[in-house]
Structures are given as structure tokens and as C-alpha cells.
A and B are shown apart, each in its own frame.
Chain A
Amino acid sequence: MEYFIQQLINGITLGGVYALVALGYTMVYGIIQLINFAHGEFFAAGGYMGVILISWLAAQGVPPTICLVLSLGLTMGYCALLATAVEQVAYRPLRQSSRLSVLLSALGMSIFLQNGLMLTQGVYDRAYPTEITRGGLHFGMVTFSYMQILIVAVTAILLVGLNALVFRTRIGKAMRATAQDKTMSALVGINSGRIISLTFAVGAGLAAAAGIMVGLYYGSVRYDMGFVPGIKAFAAAVLGGIGNITGAMLGGFIIGMVEIMAAGYISSEYKDVFAFIILIAVLYFMPTGIMGENVDDTRV
């Protein structure tokens, strides 16, 4: 039983990270039907910006808690700006072209950003200052490390915040309207260009938060760290029903949990296999994903 609870905690932590990254894929897909392959790179950029800021702030003698909060905020802001810039450069000029061109542009951007990171930050792992998040709570055999608590808490806050933003504010309403019909929403006075930029920014901000927490949790970052979580998060977004925000959260937690449980009870050798078996099985019976709506031909 204790073993199961421990694996459950591990699964929720990992699932939270996937959920945060998956949201970016799903939001961008929801609004312009683009699979943003560069999204994993925002995650990596966030991880790097996080280590730069945390190390710098800690060196200035800023207390750890403030240091964490400040770096998290600044990193999210930085990645939001970066995503806006990427959108302007790589996607906006192609708004009227075929979907394939934008997809290629996204792939190109991903390669560009990853290599940019490699050139500026080097090919080595960069260590995170892990001293601030050492230790945890022990309940018998079960360990709930402070870092896991932090990840779960921050993920929960961000998910609630995002839900509020999308479903309770005017900006959220504009986002949903643009997702439904760009032309119509433009006719009623919504600046769809700005809303699209904003969607990119919010998605990248969430990915950045995930990046910084992954860095803290695992202790290091590397330039290519965005690739694998990017693929998994994309799978999570598809699993939940791409375009659906609640679905992406759910998908993230499912993929994380399946991976951990497969590793814990079968073999960690095959954990990715099980994650993707679930994906295939769900898509076979529910082609639009768990929460996906019926997609009419204007959106495929």
C-alpha cells in the first residue's frame, strides 16, 4: 500500500509537469489549429532562464522563497515574450498560407531555438542550485519531498489561474470566440492578432514554469531537455482531446500516472510503451480524445 501511495505521489508530480506543457500545445491548437513544435523549446528556455535567475538572485543574497517566486515570475514573463516574438516572426506572416507551411515553420523554429540554446549555453548539463529544496516529509515508507509539494502546489495554482483566465475574464471570452471563428470574432471587434499572440504567451509562460520546476526537481537542465517532455506533453494534449484545456490537464496527469505505474509495477524499461499504448487505445475508441469535441471539417 505504501508502495502504491509513493508511486501515486510520483505520478502526480510528473503528470503536473506534463499537464503544464500540454496546455500550451492545446491552447495554440485550439486557436489557430497549429501544432506548435517549438513549444518544447519554451520549456527548455524556461529551465535555463530559471537557473540563470536563481543563481544570480541567490548570489545577491535574496532569501530563497523570494528568490524562487521572483525567478518563476520573471522566467514566465521572459518565455511569454519569447513566444510572442516567435509568433511574430515565424507564424504571423504565414497566417493566410496553408497549414503545412506553418507546421514547417514551427519545426524550423524548434531547431533554431534548440541550437540557439546549445550555442549560447553549451552542450553540457547545467546544474541547478538544489540546496533550497532539499528534504521532504516522511510518513513511514512514503516520502513526499518538498520539491514534489512545490510542483503540485504551483501546478494547481497555475491551472486554477488559467481556468479563471479563460472562463471568467473578457480576454478569455475573446480567446474562446477567436478559437470558434476568427473572422466573426474580428467582425465584432476582437483584435484576433493580439489574442493569438496572447495565447502563445500564456502557453509559453506555463511551459516555462514547468521548465523551471523540472530543473529544480531533477537538479540540472540541458539544451535538448525540451524534446522528450514536448513529445509526451503533445501526446497528453492529443489524449485529452487537442484544443480542449481541461482535456490537456487530464491527459497530462494520465500520461504521467501511467508512466510511473508502468515503471513501478511492470518495468521502467517499458514505461514509454505503456504511455503510448494508452494513447493509441483511447484514440481508437475516442478519435477526438477524452474531452475532444466533434471536429467539423473547417477545423481539421
Chain B
Amino acid sequence: MRQMKSTLLALALLCSALLFAAGCSDNKPKEAPKAAEAPKTEAPAPAAAPAAAADVLKVGTLSPLTGPYAADGNDIANGARAAVEVIKDQGGIPGFKDIVVQAEDSNCDPRQAVAAANKLINEKVPVVVGAYCSSATIPASEVLAEAKIVMITPASTNEKVTERGLKYMFRTCGRDDDQSKAAISFIKNQLKVDTVFIVDDKTTYSQGLADNLEKLAGAQGVKVLGHEHVNQGDKDFSAVLTQVKAANPAVFYVSLQNSASGALMFIQAKRMGITAKLLAQDAVYHPQLMEIAKADAEGAFLTFGYTDKETPAYKAFYAKYQPKYGEPGAYSTYAYDSAMAYLMAVKAAGSTDPDKVRAALLSLEFQGASKKIDYLENGDSGSNYIIQMVKDGKFTNYWNPETGTLY
């Protein structure tokens, strides 16, 4: 009896401890719980109208909803949700009773991404918006291609994504070869310096980008003082940063897959007294960067697609997105545009037949929230990388590699 009592006491303590921790968590809006709620509200839809299942248009999303890349992953799912809501507000799509979003978790893991893609195939979605990590997008897209499902990636920038001749593969964001060109042009023509130290974390995306930069640097006469690799999920960069400090480059190029890791890199670099200019890429681009690194992120440069926040398309997106999901992240607009493009194509084609939709997507041309979207034959939609700078805790447009002028 006594033991029973003490066990109960312990259980109570355990629960209260967890609850206390919950109570103390910050009261900022968190997207995660919403992501968890969403499937619940979607689930009854097919059950309520089993006979008319074909009348429900399911938009699948594939992105890391948990794990280290959850911030970007949830932005993608939420971006697609916002697009669906906007289309529904406009009266939906003729021939479909309802449009729902089915968000699946790829966890940035090739195996899980393929499993999630198979699940979406079973759910009979005609389109998948995703995935996030190129290393997950590529294997998932092979599976989806066999099932003739249109895939539009809002975030995978590795060149290979659209270079495998997959008919139903589209990309709303830019490409890494263009991104590294913008970076090298910035180093050479704006900063006018000639030494760089490169660090990547060995993902298809981050290493691909870093390798591109190294190649371009050689051709442009910029000296690469070192190219180091760290592991995904590393927190301690002191050893590699000591190398950077000893090499004393003018630019320190940080190609990590994750904004939180990027923030840790920035903090530790500043603490170590590294004075090189920090240059990062689009995976480090996320408001989380400043949240964690705070003042240590000030003055850092990033390559990111140019978004005109004054267009009506962006304003419509923002008005829908911000109240429900908080400030947009790096890929919210791209996911929104990807889903939007698909829904517009379905509307134009009058069906979800992949070939008809592909034709409609190719002939589509519209001003999206992120950029002007016009898909090419290979599925790309062009890049428009610019250099952004962290200023007063915000990303601001800094330099345009096209014109070579400051904003």
C-alpha cells in the first residue's frame, strides 16, 4: 500500500513537472500545435462525404514538420494552407466540393520522405508541395513521378531536382548554381576582397552549394583558404572556427542546412573574435536566426530570392497568413505560390489529370507572393537571388547582383 502511494506521488510529480514546464513556455504564437490540429479537422471531410470523395481536392505537402528543420517545414505546410484558404475564399474550384491540405512529415530524411510520399500516393493526392531538403526531395520525387503525381518544390534549390527529366517536377524557388553565382559576384564586385573560408554540413544542398562556390571562386581569382565540413546537428563549432580564425579570411561562407545551426555558428564566430564578413545562404534565412543569434547576426549577409513586399499578391498572402500562422518564414511565400500555381492550373485545365495540369502550369504566368512565376520546360521558374543583410534584427535588401547596385 505504501509503495502504491509513493508511486502515485511520483506520477503526480512527473505530470506536474511536465505541466509546469508547459505553463512556462513562452506565449508567442507557435505553429507546431496548429500543425498537429490540422489533420484532425481534415479527417472528417472524406468521412462526411464518402461517395463524393473525388470531389475533394487534396493538396499534399511534404516537409520536415518535426526535427531540426521543423521551422521551415511548418512554414511550407502553412504556406500551402494559406493558398488553399485564399482559393476557397474566392469561391473554390469548379467541380470540387472542397479543397484540403494533407501535410506529411519528411523529417529531411530520404527514407522517411519516400515513406511519406507513398502515404500521399495512397491518399490519392494529385499534387505534392515539397519537400524541403533536396536530399529528401530527390528520392521522394522518383516515387511520385512513377505515380504520375505533380510535385512542386518550394524550397529545394539543388540543381539535380529539375535535371533528371522528370515530367511532373516543378520548382518555385531558385537554383543553387545561380545562388553561388550571386554569392561570388558579391564577394568579388561589392566587397572587393579575395579570400574566403567555406564551411558546409554535408547535405546534398549545403555541400552542393559550397562546392559550386569553391569552383566559381577558383575561376574568379578568389582564394579559398579552406573548405571544411561539419556534421548536421553539431552544436560545437569551436574547433573549425579556430581554423577559420587562424586562416583569417575576408569572407566566411556558412553553408548550413539549418538557420538554428547558422545562428550557433554566428554566435561562436563572434565570441571567438572572428572579424571576417559572414555570408550565408537561403537555408540560414529564417527569423529564427536573429531570435537565437541576436546581435551576433547583425551585419551578416545572405543570398536569398528577391521578394517585393509591395505587390498585391504579397499583401493578399500576408493578410491571410500572418494572423493565423505568425510572421512568414523563409519559404512560406514559395509554398504559397506553389500551391497557388497548382490550384490555378487545375482551374484552367478543368481537371487534375497530370498531363493537362502540366500543360496548364507551363502556360501559366502570374505575379506570385514571392516573385513573378513562369515555369520553364524543365520545371524551373528562374532565380532572382540578391544579397540581403541583417540590419537591426531584420532581413533587408542590400545588393543586387544583376545591376551591381545597392538597394
Contact = CB atoms under 8 A, between A and B. Distances in A.
Nearest to B23: A120
Contacts of A214: 235
A263 B68 CA distance: 23
A89 B14 contact: yes
B236 interface: yes
Interface in B186-238: 202, 228-231, 233-238
A191 B235 CA distance: 41
Contacts of A143: 245, 271-273
Interface string B170-193: 000000000000000000000000
A41 B26 CA distance: 21
Contact of B267 (A78, A82, A130): A130
Contacts, number: 156
A81, A138, A263 pick with most chain B CB within 10 angstroms? A263
Contacts of B21: 45, 48-49, 52, 117, 120-121
Contact of A124 (B229, B236, B246, B288): B288
B1 interface: no
B7 interface: yes
A92 B70 CA distance: 36
B267 A218 contact: yes
B32 A122 contact: yes
Task: Give chain A's interface secondary structure class.
Answer: helix
A145, A261, A262 pick with most chain B CB within 10 angstroms? A145
B153 to A, nearest CB: 21
B151 to A, nearest CB: 24
Contacts of A250: none
A245 B13 CA distance: 29
Given A52-B24, A121-B25, A125-B292, A269 B202 contact: yes
Interface in B240-270: 240, 242-243, 245-246, 260, 263-264, 267-268
B239 A260 contact: yes
A272 B231 contact: yes
Given A219-B264, A219-B292, A10 B7 contact: no
B246 A141 contact: yes
Given A84-B10, A123-B65, A271-B231, 11 more contacts: A52-B21, A81-B13, A89-B10, A89-B11, A116-B18, A131-B294, A131-B295, A143-B271, A259-B239, A267-B228, A269-B229
13 contacts: A13-B238, A82-B13, A88-B7, A120-B21, A124-B30, A125-B71, A125-B260, A126-B26, A127-B294, A143-B272, A260-B239, A263-B239, A264-B239
Interface of B: 6-7, 9-11, 13-14, 17-19, 21-22, 24-26, 30, 32-33, 65-68, 70-71, 74, 202, 228-231, 233-240, 242-243, 245-246, 260, 263-264, 267-268, 271-273, 288, 291-296
